[in-house]
Amino acid sequence: MIPDFSKDDITVVSHHIGKIFIAFGMVQIIPIFIGLICGEISAVIDFFISIIACFAFASILLYFSPYLQEINWRQGMIIVSLSWLLAMFFSALPLFLSGHYGCYLDACFESMSAYATTGLVLVQDLDHMSYAHNIWRHLMCFLGGQGIILVALVFFFRGGDALRIYVGEARDDKILPNSITTAKFIWMVSLTYLVIGSLMLATVLLFHKVSLPRALFHGICIFMAGWDTAGFAPQSLNIIYYHCPFFELITIIIILLGATSFGVHYAVWTGKFSELREDFEVKVLMSTIFFTYFIVLVGFSGQASLFSDAFSFFRTTFYQLISGHTGVGYNNIYSSELANWPELALFGVIVAMGIGGCTNSTAGGIKVFRIGLLYKSIKREVRRLAYPESSYIKEFFHHQREISIDDTMVKTAMIITVCYILLYLSGAVVASFFGYGFFNGLFESVSAAANVGLSVGITSPSMPAFLKVWYIIEMWTGRLEFFAIFILIRFFVKTVKR
């Protein structure tokens, strides 16, 4: 029998959250550095206040919660889910102090959107935001995509503690022998691509007569939000601002890399290029991209004349589809234009957003692995019915190694898929209650819960406060894939009952 929650759980959770918030405070040195370079003294002060708040909070937790024992699985889940929630509140502080948010709730919304790599924004007058605050928005995307706990994981955790926190952040692949080396590999890959991708984007901007410092800033910001499938941009017009098909092409490459499992990245980095062709999840991703884009094309049948030419049609429709499927949320059209798409075409984007990218990537959503697994399980059942009762039917797939489907695997995939669908529908119902319409509400809800960021115009500073809170819950729950949240809720219920 599993023992109930106790005072020791509170102590262990508090201690490790304190260690994590030391890392949060240290990370904010980066926007301070940017602020000092750009002479943004007010922004530097904002981040000093935030760092002091993080260190003070961490010191209080560590003082009253000395380390007692190793983390168990449920404690790891609670640490992760609670850290993400607390990170939202603390990381919103410098955003709110910037003066670009109507209220603290709006800053919290944007903070959670960044960490969950969603991309829905409530910022006001973004085009005049300081470089320090703007880089912080994108740095949160970069941290959230890899997993905000991975910052602390590399420096503050060891052994079993590391594994239990790593799994709590909706990751289950140990690419290397242990969670610490896996976390280091993820950061090495991400930082390497950061340099390469940022330079590629900056080079395009330099070719279009953008100054070197500005080109580098935009290149870094767009890469961080693209690789981590977050969809933030340093300008209010998002990708429309750049008016460049080649720039958009580079972002498509970046977001596809971001939506690909780190396990596949490891295989490629170690010379196993055949993994790109053989991996089951990559195959399913390509298949669902073509399938959902076909729905979009059918939706536009007879209405392609709305575009000036075939290239314009493909550039617009495919970009929104691939942006939605990978969960990046970049857009090269206005939200009002997207809202006027035929409903069937929008439905294709909704399906793509709901499916999402690969497991153990920076993308959100149900994940193509689970969709493929459910397809394989149906195929197995059909074969089982077609063969004699005495036959033993097994179904295999290749995902970094040969894997045999078992009932537990299928059951878990089904549970998470159903949870996502219910979460998607819940947001649509809430939006309908406020008069937005079920279909548009469904689009916005899937975008929030699948951590995408595309919008048909519902997300704005003027939307009801309750809807903002609901979308925050959807982004948080969708990013951590439910179980860590469920355990946290049970922990609070049991604690209150005492």
Q: What is the DSSP string of 109-155?
A: HHHHHHHTT------SSGGG--HHHHHHHHHHHHHHHH-THHHHHHH
Looking at residue 148, its pLDDT comes to 63
Q: Which two tokens stand for residue 369?
A: 């692995």
Q: In Å, what is the CA distance from 264 to each residue of 106, 275, 420, 451?
A: 37, 7, 25, 22
Q: Are 438 and 347 in contact, with CB atoms under 8 Å apart?
A: no
Mean pLDDT calculated for residue range 392-416: 79
Cα 208 to chain centroid distance, Å, stands at: 31
The answer to which of 32-46, 97-111, 297-311 has the lowest mean pLDDT is: 297-311
Looking at residue 498, its pLDDT comes to 62
Per-residue pLDDT at 464 exceeds 60: yes
> Distance between CA 441 and CA 423 in Å, rounded?
12
Looking at residue 161, its pLDDT comes to 47
Per-residue pLDDT at 293 exceeds 70: yes
Q: Which two tokens stand for residue 381?
A: 């059942």
* Spatial CA neighbour of 231 closest among 327, 322, 321: 327
Q: Which of helix, strand or coil describes residue 403?
A: strand
> Distance between CA 322 and CA 348 in Å, rounded?
11
Looking at residue 350, its pLDDT comes to 97
Q: Which of helix, strand or coil describes residue 1?
A: coil
Looking at residue 12, its pLDDT comes to 82
pTM over 0.85: yes
Looking at residue 154, its pLDDT comes to 52
Q: Which residues contact 359 (CB under 8 A, 6 or more apart)?
A: 172, 173, 261, 281, 367, 369, 370
Q: Which two tokens stand for residue 318?
A: 């495919």
Per-residue pLDDT at 402 exceeds 90: no
Percentage of the residues of the chain whose pLDDT score is greater than 70 = 89
Q: Which of helix, strand or coil describes residue 395?
A: coil
> Distance between CA 456 and CA 433 in Å, rounded?
17
Q: In Å, what is the CA distance from 415 to each residue of 409, 482, 485?
A: 10, 10, 15
Looking at residue 104, its pLDDT comes to 96
Q: What is the residue-averaged pLDDT of the chain?
A: 86
Per-residue pLDDT at 8 exceeds 90: no
The 10 Å CB-count burial string (b at 16+, else e) for 393-414 is eebebebbeeeebeeeebeebe
Looking at residue 271, its pLDDT comes to 85
H-run or E-run covering 397: strand 396-398
Q: Which two tokens stand for residue 412?
A: 């878990």
User: For the segment 230-242, what is each residue's pLDDT rounded down to a tens digit?
Assistant: 889 999 999 999 9
Looking at residue 113, its pLDDT comes to 95
Query: Higher-confidence residue: 432 or 482?
Result: 432
User: For the segment 314-338, what is each residue's pLDDT rounded down to a tens digit?
Assistant: 999 999 999 999 999 999 999 889 9
What own/partner pairs with CB < 8 Å and gap ≥ 24 does 392-398 have?
A: 397/280, 397/372, 397/373, 398/278, 398/279, 398/280
Tally of CB atoms within 10 A around 51: 21
Looking at residue 163, its pLDDT comes to 47
Cα 251 to chain centroid distance, Å, stands at: 16
Per-residue pLDDT at 135 exceeds 80: yes
Q: What is the radius of gyration, based on Cα positions, of the chain?
A: 22
> Distance between CA 161 and CA 465 in Å, rounded?
37
> Distance between CA 243 and CA 259 in Å, rounded?
24
Q: In Å, what is the CA distance from 125 to each residue of 45, 112, 129, 389?
A: 20, 19, 7, 67
Looking at residue 1, its pLDDT comes to 42
Q: How confident is the model at residue 272 (pLDDT cuts 50, 70, 90)?
A: confident
* Spatial CA neighbour of 132 closest among 54, 43, 16: 43
Per-residue pLDDT at 249 exceeds 70: yes
Burial of 329 (0-12, 13-18, 19+ CB in 10 A): buried
Rama region for 377: left / alpha / beta (φ>0; ψ in -120 to 50; rest): alpha
Q: Whole-angstrom distance between the N-terminal and C-terminal Cα of the chain? A: 20
Looking at residue 277, its pLDDT comes to 84
Q: How confident is the model at residue 152 (pLDDT cuts 50, 70, 90)?
A: low
Mean pLDDT calculated for residue range 16-38: 90
Per-residue pLDDT at 191 exceeds 80: yes
The answer to which of 6-20, 359-373, 429-443, 456-470 has the lowest mean pLDDT is: 6-20
User: For the segment 378-401, what is each residue's pLDDT rounded down to a tens digit?
Assistant: 888 787 777 776 666 677 777 777
> Distance between CA 486 and CA 489 in Å, rounded?
5
Per-residue pLDDT at 303 exceeds 50: yes
* Spatial CA neighbour of 57 closest among 30, 89, 27: 89
The answer to which of 135-139, 244-248, 357-361, 494-498 has the lowest mean pLDDT is: 494-498
Q: Which amino acid is at 161?
A: D
State the virtual CA torsion across 184, 185, 189, 190 in degrees, nearest 10: -40
Mean pLDDT calculated for residue range 465-488: 91
Domain boundaries, the chain: 1-171
Looking at residue 4, its pLDDT comes to 60
Per-residue pLDDT at 159 exceeds 50: no
Mean pLDDT calculated for residue range 287-296: 95
Q: Which two tokens stand for residue 98?
A: 């910037």
Per-residue pLDDT at 158 exceeds 70: no
User: For the segment 73-105, what is each residue's pLDDT rounded down to a tens digit?
Assistant: 777 788 888 888 999 999 999 999 999 999 999
Tally of CB atoms within 10 A around 160: 15
